[in-house]
A and B are shown apart, each in its own frame.
Chain A
Amino acid sequence: MQRVVDMNNKNEYKVEMSYRMECKYRGAGLTHYVMQSEDSPF
């Protein structure tokens, strides 16, 4: 995997990356209120 070092922040960053996720469990998300449960992405 290619990486680059940002000298200002001393961080090592991946230089090639893109991904998209979705909720694994039906019913999670979009509640406006934080309902914590095992299926919460928080």
Chain B
Amino acid sequence: MLQTITIDDVEFKIDPETNFWGIGDQKKLEGLYFSVRKELIEEMQNLRFCKDIILLYVNPTDKCNASCPYCYLPQNIKSRGKNMSYAELNAVIEKAIEFFESRGVKGSIVFHGSEPLMNRENIFRVIEDYHNELHFGIQTNGMLLAEEDAEFIKEKRVNIGISLDSPDEVTNDALRGQGHFSKVIETLEWLSRYRGLNVVTTITKHNQRQLADMVRFLHEREVSLCLINPVRGTQKGSLALRPEPQEMAKDFIKAVDTAIELTKQGRRIVIGDFANLLLGIIAPSARVLMCDISPCGAGRRFFSVTANGECYPCGEFIGMQEFTGGSIFNSTIEEISDSDGFRKVMSRTVEWIAECNICLFKNICGAPCPAEIYSTDGSMYKKSYYCDFYRKVIEHALRVILRGDTWHVLRRSALREKFSL
């Protein structure tokens, strides 16, 4: 059923079940809607309930050379100090390749933290050995990256996400450690214009006012993609740093509009999180990120492997034993993804959350993040702490569509039209 929301005095008609949307003559919209409704229901069902692992996050080490106050990993995991040996890492990679090949896909491995470059030698060795069979990514704080490493990453076409929390050195280093800012600036020069680069900013109370400046700062350094993620309150430290959602929305929207204005001036910069919400409206099945859909991607499109081989639906669940899927060394990927722990997360849908079930945006935002809500409320079946943030940002995404700015956020060449009015 089409429902109405007004944005800047313009009435949008939206069907929250399929994310069909439109503005204009009611009868024309209803005619179009009923002609495509069946196809859109099927599309949304596939998007939400397809279970097909295409990516593994692998933490090759428990060790970290930083102590960010909002780290999502429990202290008892980080303090184990386990490094995966080459043989262990190789076993994980070969198991992944066998699984992906059986499904006819080229899958992805992303080395994640703690700090993956604390096990640099082994991860570079497997990238060297298997870069033709898999897509590789590294999420790093960048502190241990040398210029020759940057060359290797570019040569092997490895995606790299580098953490940077502020354009202001004092603010950044207070969050990420002394010397981090200057090191990242150097690294960004080595990776300048590299298509596989993105910069990740975690929004906290300390940097939320700087998001628009952050976008300008990155644009000046020719970064074309950044992720600006709200901190997830899965640990005590991160919980204390969560911004007030409505205020955060204002700051985030300023950053979005800054990115659009800079892009219009000639060189693209995109905030991936916003682009993904916009895709949720105009091209749901083309979404890249799987946090803002329910069930989320945890356990059904990807899962996380810790340094001792234990598997969790997502990194945010690491340490929550009730969600573990067993060991990658003792189980098949099919067994892990079929485990009770994973099924708990994969069965979490917005329809079971009373406030979300009646929300127009339920299939655009998806009530993230289940791990965060479970940590704070003891149940995944509550609305997100960031509900008001998502509402404001999705309303702004509708405004961006109205303004005709969609293609200053998304790449039109990667999409094709299913229908239009």
- Cβ contact within 8 Å between A23 and B22: no
Please name all residues of chain B whose beta carbon is closer than 8 Å to the beta carbon of A38 when the two chains form the complex: 414
Q: Please tell me the size bucket of the interface on A.
A: 20 to 34
Knowing A17-B22, A21-B283, A21-B417, the reply to whether A42 touches B108 (Cβ < 8 A) is: no
- Cβ contact within 8 Å between A13 and B302: no
- Cβ contact within 8 Å between B290 and A36: no
- Cβ contact within 8 Å between B135 and A35: yes
B292 to chain A, nearest CB (A): 11
Knowing A6-B9, A40-B288, the reply to whether A27 touches B23 (Cβ < 8 A) is: no
Within 8 A of B (CB), among A4-42: 4, 6, 8-9, 11, 13-25, 27-42
- Cβ contact within 8 Å between A15 and B8: no
Per the bound structure, the CA–CA distance linking A8 and B8 in Å amounts to: 8
- Cβ contact within 8 Å between B22 and A34: no
Please name all residues of chain B whose beta carbon is closer than 8 Å to the beta carbon of A18 when the two chains form the complex: 20-24, 29, 32, 419-421
- Cβ contact within 8 Å between B23 and A34: no
**Other-chain residue from A20, A25, A42 in contact with B288 (beta carbon distance below 8 A):** A42
Per the bound structure, the CA–CA distance linking A17 and B159 in Å amounts to: 36
Knowing A17-B23, A34-B225, the reply to whether A11 touches B403 (Cβ < 8 A) is: yes
The closest CB in chain B to the CB of A39 belongs to: B414
- Cβ contact within 8 Å between B402 and A11: yes
The closest CB in chain B to the CB of A19 belongs to: B420
Please name all residues of chain A whose beta carbon is closer than 8 Å to the beta carbon of B9 when the two chains form the complex: 6, 8
Q: Please tell me the size bucket of the interface on B.
A: 35 or more
Please name all residues of chain A whose beta carbon is closer than 8 Å to the beta carbon of B421 when the two chains form the complex: 16-19
Per the bound structure, the CA–CA distance linking A39 and B384 in Å amounts to: 31
Per the bound structure, the CA–CA distance linking A4 and B421 in Å amounts to: 17
Please name all residues of chain A whose beta carbon is closer than 8 Å to the beta carbon of B137 when the two chains form the complex: 33, 35
The closest CB in chain A to the CB of B8 belongs to: A6
Interface of B, secondary structure class, is: mixed
- Cβ contact within 8 Å between B302 and A36: no
- Cβ contact within 8 Å between A32 and B415: no
Please name all residues of chain B whose beta carbon is closer than 8 Å to the beta carbon of A30 when the two chains form the complex: 47, 54, 285, 287-288, 290, 297, 301
Within 8 A of A (CB), among B276-334: 279, 282-283, 285-291, 297, 301-302
- Cβ contact within 8 Å between B21 and A22: no
Per the bound structure, the CA–CA distance linking A37 and B135 in Å amounts to: 11
Please name all residues of chain B whose beta carbon is closer than 8 Å to the beta carbon of A36 when the two chains form the complex: 159, 195-198, 225
Knowing A11-B402, A23-B415, A42-B225, the reply to whether A32 touches B291 (Cβ < 8 A) is: yes
Within 8 A of A (CB), among B149-196: 159, 161, 195-196
Please name all residues of chain B whose beta carbon is closer than 8 Å to the beta carbon of A20 when the two chains form the complex: 20, 36, 40, 282-283, 417-420
A11 to chain B, nearest CB (A): 6
Query: Taking the complex as formed, is B25 at the interface, i.e. its CB lies under 8 A from any CB of chain A?
Result: yes
Per the bound structure, the CA–CA distance linking A16 and B22 in Å amounts to: 7
Instruction: Report B1-18 CB contacts with A as 1/0, cut-off 8 Å.
Output: 000000011100000000
Per the bound structure, the CA–CA distance linking A38 and B197 in Å amounts to: 13
**Interface pairs A-B: 7 shortest CB-CB:** A18-B22, A16-B24, A21-B283, A19-B420, A23-B286, A18-B421, A21-B415
Q: Can you sample 7 A-B contacts with CB below 8 Å?
A: A14-B23, A14-B402, A15-B24, A18-B421, A21-B418, A32-B55, A42-B275
- Beyond the given A11-B402, A28-B288, could you list 6 further A-B residue pairs with CB under 8 A, ordered by the A residue number? A17-B22, A18-B419, A18-B421, A20-B20, A27-B106, A41-B410
